[in-house]
Chain A
């Protein structure tokens, strides 16, 4: 099955700085890569996703890049704000019943 590794496990940045979280996957057939944000005690919520037919996708301060050859994808958050503090999860999925394999999560702390 798919194996998704996520780094770093914790990340602390100053407000206004950029944050980058990286994930690697093992199954070359994976073709959909969502990112979820989970605030303390809350549900995971989709913040951005990318499909294998594109290399980059942006949504305001958030961007995701995908390198299919190297089998890694990254989440980029620019101009970080304290409300960006949360745990972020990456996931990978191939077209088979929409099963997601999640990374172990990155706890992002944005210091004011």
Chain B
């Protein structure tokens, strides 16, 4: 099993361009998440999804949109990229909490995005 796969691994954009980051998981996980990681700030939640067709905002959602049309995929979109969105983006997935216990999140390898 591949686990959580992110594409692309690297990308350079110009200010104002748009792009979509793809996250795919093969563990049949219910929940999926997008984080950004900046130096000295840990991981900050952008958006998350608790199931196919559902999405919700995290801590830093502005400037990003997401979609979860299929259970195994979670897409992160930047409509008009800004230099402040230069970061490393991580996708994660986890089992649902149907048994009322929290579940560990499994991360992808990350996408390094630079916006000039």
| A31 in the interface (beta carbon within 8 A) | yes
- Beta-carbon contact of B43 and A89 below 8 Å: yes
- SS of B interface (majority): loop
With A43-B108, A44-B90, A98-B31 already in contact, the answer to whether A32 and B102 are too (CB < 8 A) is: yes
Near A by CB (< 8 A), chain B positions 91-113 give 94, 96-97, 100-110
Check A99–B107 contact: CB distance below 8 A. no
Q: How far is the CA of A34 from the CA of B101 in the complex (A)?
A: 13
In the complex the two chains form, is B41's CB within 8 Å of A97's CB? Answer: no
Residues on A with C-beta less than 8 A from B97 are: 95, 97-98
In the assembled complex, B59 has its CB within 8 A of some CB on chain A? yes
Number of interface residues of B (CB under 8 A): 27
Chain A positions within 8 Å of B108 at CB level: 43
Tell me the complex Cα distance, A111–B103, Å: 34
- Jot down 16 A-B pairs with beta carbons below 8 A, ordered by A: A34-B105, A43-B110, A45-B107, A51-B101, A89-B43, A93-B102, A94-B102, A95-B97, A95-B102, A97-B48, A97-B56, A98-B105, A99-B48, A100-B43, A104-B41, A105-B42
- List the interface of chain B (C-beta within 8 A of A): 31, 40-45, 48, 50, 56, 58-59, 90, 94, 96-97, 100-110
- Apart from A43-B107, A104-B42, 18 more pairs, CB < 8 Å: A31-B102, A34-B105, A46-B106, A95-B100, A95-B101, A95-B102, A97-B31, A97-B48, A97-B56, A98-B97, A98-B105, A99-B48, A102-B42, A103-B42, A104-B40, A104-B41, A105-B40, A105-B42
